[in-house]
Amino acid sequence: MSRRNFYPICLLVVFGAVVMAQQPPPAPPAQLPPVTFKVEINYVEVDAVVTDAAGNFVSDLKPSDFQIFEDGKPQKVSAFSLINIPIERAETPLFAREPIEPDVRSNDRQFDGRLYVIALDDLHTHPLRSVRVKQAAKQFIERRLGANDLAAVVHLSGRANAAQDFTNNRRLLVAAVDKFLGRKIPSATLGRIDEYYRLRDLREPGERINDPNDFERGYQARQTLSSVKSLAEWMSGIRGRRKAIVLISEGIDYDIYDIFNARDATTIMEEARDVIAAATRGNVSIYGVDPRGLTSLGDEAIEIQSLPDDTSLGLGPQSLLNEVRLSQDSLRVLSDETGGFAVVNTNDFVDAFDRIVRDNSSYYLLGYYPTNERRDGRFRRIEVRLSRPGLAVRARKGYVAPRGRPSTPPALAAGSNDASTAIREVLNNPLPVSGLSLSVFAAPFKGVAPNASVAVTVEASGADLKFTEKDGKFVNSVELSMIAVDADGKSKGGDGATLNMGLKPDTYQRVSTGGVRMISRLNLPPGRYQLRVAGRETGAGKAGMVVYDLEVPDFSKAPLSMSGVVLTSTSAGQVMTTRPDESFKDVLPGPPTTRRDFDRSETVGLFAEVYDNEGAKPHQVDIATTVRAEGGTSVFQHREERASSELGGARGGYGYTAQFPLKDMRPGLYVLRVEARSRLRSDDPVARETVFRVR
């Protein structure tokens, strides 16, 4: 199986390996280190959990309290950080049942959460137990994923279009989980029993009955292990944070101990060792979760109609139990050897999931360059010692050194053909990059079929721009570039621009305060995308990147649908705009903005389009805007009645605008809702909601 088919969206194509620095910088104990994506073969990171006699985490240690030994030889600790990640909850208005998804994404805050890849092993899950996998994965996502965490969902059979790349959007993660369907082949015991009855009149007494699905069972075992190995190898490039693979699987059901009759036993054992080697090299912990809970393979046992008369074959309930033990052992080995733990023989995942979160929340991160640089593929034993008495330390016991020459995954070209190397490197990072603060908003509108026209607004913070004064002008340049990647990991378009600035003092003050803005249009067919928007300014060399989850509707299918809702405000014109979008000039009092916090002195304007595909029938459509305060009180309402006779042209929609002043609104959180309802239908209206704050 190729990596291209395995990784969702960017786990291979966009998340190419990029060397961001030559050496990981040390960080003070009380500060989270920056997360970077590097390929440094000779760099080793070790997580260390230190507890006192009562089992409580000890958080006041210094670099001098630690010693690292590799194969008995002391190593110089070149990076040291205390990782103590809080669990943050999404900001939710009091009247809302669930958090309202933000329509703007930014990188103004350095990523400081946990990293999870939820690996769903469809090749080793019975189809009838698919719902248990979904329940376990959803429980982890909905109850254990913090607002500051990032998670990805991967189907190990290689269904890229069913997966979800790194995001903290729970809805998208759950949607990827809902696509799961187990594909496990029948139990080896059941297969051998069926084979026994098929050959009963042809076989010699005492003749062994082999597994008729041995070839396919071995292939699926190799594919699952190869997929997990590829994941671990890719995640090894992420530095500065512990990485966790939550492997939800019934375990490898191949009998690796029967080397004489199971043709792939030796190969599968080698593949398992390779998985462990890749994970330990990359400081990736695997947590194997058996969704069956307390089980005796009842789903399989009920399929046994009768047992063979030849008891020497050992086919029956005990052989089914042996399969359970064998598969769970595989989860235990992969987990224990990589610093995680296995969750087996339990119907309650609450405590186990809590422990996974604790494991990835509080620990010391130690980094060193080993004195032994040989790439000989041998196991290197690691020992972490403490100089302070009375404390216990738990860390991984070693890693397997790489073998052969290192390989560099291909990088994805940026959307603009002349994008600089620096921008390309930033775009190829797997996680948002802080440095140059960017904020991004994308609104899909109906375009020329079959594409939609997506208006993308990007704003770069003026506070991050370092100007140089030359001949009475303030000089700097900002390069912005974006790419859109679909669910199969293919680039579907992009855009870019460079703003070269030589500003007079008054304009310089304006840009330093408000920043700069770029508005682009991307023509994209309906589907699920990830926008990757990067920027770099030359004054201080600051660069940043934002990841934006985008869903483009098919506006031609639904009877009634709505575009994105574009906002502007009184202060939006203070931001210098390169390449303004002419289509907004006649419908908005100012340029689109990514801001979602406003001063009470401002007025907010909005624009949206409502698409009506039932124009042949005379009717009315009601469009309304409501603004509600924290307690659910309505503080602004605006309603319009539109007639189908207004429809005309290819767009087949109603343009809708509204404005509301903020002067009478108290400081706090508000929800803006724009909805449309056709009087031809009594079903739910189409609507978009946006959260904003009044200062």
Domain extents in the chain: 3-89+118-368, 415-557, 589-695
Fold of the domain built from segment(s) 589-695: Immunoglobulin-like (2.60.40)
Average pLDDT, integer, range 47-73? 93
Residue 28 has pLDDT above 50, yes or no: no
Q: C-alpha angle with apex 206: 201 to 209, nearest 5 degrees?
A: 70
pLDDT of residue 201: 73
Domains 3-89+118-368 and 415-557 belong to one CATH topology:
no
Q: C-alpha angle with apex 389: 385 to 392, nearest 5 degrees?
A: 55
Q: What is the pTM of this model?
A: 0.86
- pLDDT (tens digit, 9 = 90+) per residue, 216-274? 999 999 999 999 999 999 888 888 788 999 999 999 999 888 877 788 899 999 999 99
542 residue type, one letter: K
| Helices assigned H by DSSP within 386-514 | 421-427, 505-514
Percent of the chain with pLDDT over 70: 89
Contacts of 628 (CB under 8 A, 6+ apart): 93, 95, 634, 635, 670, 671, 673
Average pLDDT, integer, range 546-571? 96
Mean pLDDT over the full length of the chain: 87
pLDDT of residue 456: 98
The position carrying tokens 């080697």 is: 277
Q: Is domain 415-557 given the CATH code 2.60.40.150 in the classification?
A: yes
Q: Which two tokens stand for residue 345?
A: 């023989």
Q: Measuring CA to CA, which residue among 168, 202, 15, 192 is closest to residue 99?
A: 168
pLDDT of residue 22: 31
Residue 279 backbone zone (phi > 0: left; psi -120 to 50: alpha; other: beta): alpha
Q: Which two tokens stand for residue 561?
A: 């649908």
Average pLDDT, integer, range 588-608? 97
pLDDT of residue 31: 54
- pLDDT (tens digit, 9 = 90+) per residue, 448-486? 989 999 999 999 999 999 999 999 999 999 999 999 999
pLDDT of residue 362: 92
3-state secondary structure of 443: strand
Fold of the domain built from segment(s) 3-89+118-368: Rossmann fold (3.40.50)
- pLDDT (tens digit, 9 = 90+) per residue, 611-669? 999 988 999 999 999 999 988 899 999 999 999 999 876 567 899 999 999 999 999 99
